[in-house]
Structure 1
Amino acid sequence: MKSLVALAVGALVAGGIAFAAPASAGCQAGWTPWGGGEICDGPVGSDGNFERCQTTGVLGFGGTQCFIANVGNAQPPRVGP
């Protein structure tokens, strides 16, 4: 059941984020009637690294995960200024 929920979360977020307009500076969100998600990028350091936080929610289940990414290989590309 957990893997099914994780797969559904990934599919909805991937689809929703691709067509969403920026919600605010440094953030991009996408929503459907069943759930959605948001990606927020922090400021870029001198080495090209930045903190990215991804939040997802589907049918009342979800959470936030933050990690360090680099502007050279971030997918999707960095959002915001």
Structure 2
Amino acid sequence: MKRTIIATLASCAMAMPALSVEDINKDYIKSLAAPGKTVLVLEYYDGSGKAVDRKGYASQAGYKAVSPTDFRVDEKTTRKSVGETA
């Protein structure tokens, strides 16, 4: 019975929509965009959902995943997609 209750609660939690944060700054993304380039923008949010920092990259070659949460931006730079602090 305990497993059924836990499974039901987990299913309900997964079905809930994600908490909304403020809109992404589209002008910032457009400033990085260029024909033939791929843009990567990471925004960092505080606990209340307000953007506190942003890092953006534009690449001709694209980005490579080096782990389930890490992207290689260039030879010297790797960024985490989750859990990184600014």
Normalising by structure 1, report the TM-score.
Answer: 0.28
Which of the pair is proportionally richer in strand?
1
Q: TM-score, normalised by structure 2?
A: 0.27
Q: Which structure ranks higher in relative contact order (CA pairs < 8 Å, sequence separation ≥ 6)?
A: 1
